[in-house]
Amino acid sequence: MSTPVLPAAPSPDAADHRERLMAGLADAIHEKGLAKTQVTDIVRHARASRTTFYRCFADKDACFFALAQRLTDATREAVEAAVDPAAPWETQVDQAIDAYVGILGNDPTLVVTFASDLPMLGERAARLRREGIAQYAEMLVRLASTPRMREAGIAIDLDTAVLLMAGLDGMVAHAVGDGRPVAELAPMAKRAVKRVLAP
């Protein structure tokens, strides 16, 4: 998908407007869902004007894609920060999975929206999903490349990491579609990742 690209060096005001508008969209999704949300709802929650909105985003979908990217980035950074590189490798896997499902479980409304509504938005959404999986896979390769991991005989290539992350993404979407809590996935996800990583 032709994901909207954040400006390389936005002014503080422009960056603040974008953040407020994305937060406004998140609030509107909690209030009435993505499909029923209009730009007027976003600017009402953001306490901004429609003029400000259209200076930052072409339309509601562009704002939604930016929100999805921002939350994906924040989740990935939180997962990476939760892992203690000095811990035994099995513990590191547990830490990463617990952080991942914990973050997703904190906002089930947005998780449901991303799982159900994002795939309906065409090639732009498909590209965002692919890029997100690739970024998570690169993170997994980094986490598995520390001295402690190498000492334990752990190694993973990017293709295998993509396969794992695509599987986890599919598990989340399936659980959300069935109305099950994402936290229920943690034990299975840990077993799957450990089986792949085990030396």
Across 18-23, average pLDDT: 95
Range of the domain at 156: 12-197
Identify the residue whose tokens are 């159900």: 116
Assigned domain for 143 exists:
yes
pTM across the whole model? 0.83
Task: For 76-111, write each residue's pLDDT tens digit.
Answer: 999 999 999 999 999 999 999 999 999 888 888 888
Assigned domain for 155 exists:
yes
10: three-class secondary structure by DSSP: coil
Backbone angles phi and psi of 114, in degrees to 5: -65, -40
Count of structural domains within the chain: 1
Task: For 24-51, write each residue's pLDDT tens digit.
Answer: 999 999 999 999 999 999 999 999 999 9
- What is the number of other CB atoms lying within 10 angstroms of the CB of residue 177? 11
Calculated CA dihedral for residues 180, 102, 97, 27, nearest 10 degrees: 80
Assigned domain for 1 exists:
no
Check which CATH number belongs to the domain holding 143 and give it: 1.10.357.10
Nearest to 83, CA basis, from 1, 156, 166, 149: 149
Let me know how long the chain is.
199
Q: How many CA atoms lie within 13 A of 102 on its CB side?
A: 10
Helix (H) or strand (E) holding 53, with range, is helix 50-56
